[in-house]
Structure 1
C-alpha cells in the first residue's frame, strides 16, 4: 500500500472535502482525487460514498475500517517525529558510556556532573570494565562511546582520538634513597594487560631495567604496597595524588624533559553515526 495515497485519503476525511485536503497537503485537488481513486483501485474496495455535490463526505464500511487504521498509523508517525525532535534537542534520550577503571575512578566524575547539569533529561549509564571488554561492548553496540587508557590502539573498526595525556610517575616509599631506588623490586600490572605493556614501554623510555618484577592486579594495590616499602612502581599521577599528599610515598623526579605520559582515548565505532546525546557528551569532554 502506498502511504502517500493513504495519507491523502486520511486527510480528505479529516478535512471533510477534497479541496480542503488539497490545501492542507499543498497539492492540487485533481491530484488528491486521483490518489484516492488509485488507493481504491489497489485495494479493490470502495472507501468513500460519492453522494450529491454539497453534501458531507461519508465513508463506506471498508472506508471506516481503513480510516481507523490510518488514524493509528499517522498518530504513531507524529509520536515518532515528536520523539526524534525531542532527542535532537536533547529534551529526552539516553547514553551509555564505557570506561576503563582509572578513568572511572579519577577522571570521569566532573564531566558527568557537567553533562547532567546541561542535559538533565538525558539518562546516563556508565559501564566500568577492562579496555578489552569495553572495546568488545562497543563493537556489540552495548555502549555508545568508550573512554579507555592504555598503549597504542589501532583498528579499522574504530574511530580513535586522544582525549588526554595522563602523566605517569615513578613512585617509591619516602625512606628509599633517591640514589639507590634502582636496586629495589618493581611492582607492575599483570603480564598481557595493556597497562603492563604500557608500563614496560615507559620503563624502556626511562632507561630502567628492573632488578625484580612483582605482578599486582590493580593500580590501587600497587600504590598501597609501595607505601609499605614493598618496592617501586609506575602509576598515573591521578592514582597516587592522595598518597603523596599524606607523604605515604614520593615521586622520583626525572625532570620535565623526560616526563612519562600515557594517552587516554575516546573511541567510537567507525561508520556508526553518533546520536545527539553522544555528540553533546563529546563536546563536554573536549571543550
Structure 2
C-alpha cells in the first residue's frame, strides 16, 4: 500500500464520485477505479457500497477513511517539520556579547562562513544571560558569552580565560604601573566605571564578583551604559575602568592600559549550546575555533563548565 492509494481513496470519499475525484486528481477515471479495487483487494474488505449514487462507504470503509485522513495529515505535518528542521540546519543563528567583537569571534565566524558556504549565518547580539533563554526558545543556535551561568538544558564549553586590563588616561597618576602592573587592592579609592547597564547578571556583576572574591570593596563603582562610554569617560580623565584584554584594540585616544596582577582578574569566554543538540554545525564551529586559536598561539581550554 502506498500513500497515493490513501489519497485516491480519501478524494473519492470526499467528492462522493469517481468522476469528480478523477478530475481533481488529474487522472483518468478507469485507472482510478482500478486503484480503488486494488486497494480493496489488498485490504480484503469492501470500502464502498456497490451501486449507490452518490457513493457511500461501508462501515469498514468509514473506519478506514478516518484513519487514512489521520495518516495523510501526520505525513504532511512530518514533511513540513522535516523541511523546517532542514532550513534551521542551513541557517545558524549565533548570539554574542559585543565585547567579543574585539576578540577572536570575527575571525571564527569568517572562517566558518568560508568553510560552509551553504550555511547562512546570522549574528544576534545577546547578553550572556539572555543567550540561555534564547537558546532554549530556539532564537539562537550557539552563544558566545562571558558569564558563568548554569542551566541543566544548556551545555557550556570554556574556551579561554581572558586577562583583564585597567584602562586609564595616559597622564593618570597610576601610569607609573603600566610596565609593572598592579593589584586591584591598589585602585579601591579610584572612580571605577563598570558596564553595561543591562539586567543582571552582566559583565559589571562579574567584575564586582572578582572584587568580592578577593575580599575587596571599591568605594566608587559607577555604572554606565556600555564599554565605549566607559572608555570615553576614561579618555576624558573622569576615572578608570576594567576591560577584557582584547578590548584594548578599540583604540580611543589618550588611553593607556595596565596589567592586573591578581590571578582572579580574568573574563571566561565560553560557547553555549543546547544540551542534547547534535546538529552538524557544532563540530564545524568547534573546528574553526581550534584553528583560529592555534593560528593566534592562544591556549584553548575546551572544557565543559
Give the TM-score normalised by the residue count of structure 2: 0.60
1:262 matched to 2:267? The reply is yes
Correspondent of 1:107 among 99, 104, 107:
104
CA deviations over 1:201-242 (Å, ceiling 9, x no partner)? 233456654231211111121111111111111111222224
Q: Which runs of 5+ in 1 are unaligned?
A: 10-34, 46-72
SS in 2 for 1:252: strand
Give distance in 2, aligned partners of 1:229 and 1:133.
Answer: 33
Give distance in 1, aligned partners of 2:95 and 2:203.
Answer: 17
SS in 2 for 1:160: strand
| Distance change (3 Å), C-alpha of 1:159 and 1:42 | farther
CA deviations over 1:169-209 (Å, ceiling 9, x no partner)? 12211111227855421111248332111111233456654
Correspondent of 1:170 among 166, 171, 192:
166
Q: Which runs of 5+ in 2 are unaligned?
A: 6-37, 49-71, 177-185, 292-305
| Distance change (3 Å), C-alpha of 1:199 and 1:181 | closer
CA deviations over 1:120-169 (Å, ceiling 9, x no partner)? 1111111112222221111111211211112x211212111112222211
Give the TM-score normalised by the residue count of structure 1: 0.64
SS in 1 for 2:173: coil
Correspondent of 2:208 among 200, 204, 220:
200
Give distance in 1, aligned partners of 2:248 and 2:226.
Answer: 13
Q: Does the CA contact (< 8 Å) of 1:185 and 1:213 recur in 2? A: yes
| Distance change (3 Å), C-alpha of 1:39 and 1:265 | farther
Alignment of 1:1-287 (within 5 A): 5-6=1-2, 39-41=42-44, 44=47, 93-104=90-101, 106-150=103-147, 152-178=148-174, 182-189=188-195, 190=197, 192-204=200-212, 208-243=216-251, 248-255=254-261, 258=263, 260-271=265-276, 273-287=277-291
| Distance change (3 Å), C-alpha of 1:173 and 1:207 | farther
Q: Does the CA contact (< 8 Å) of 2:102 and 2:249 recur in 1? A: no
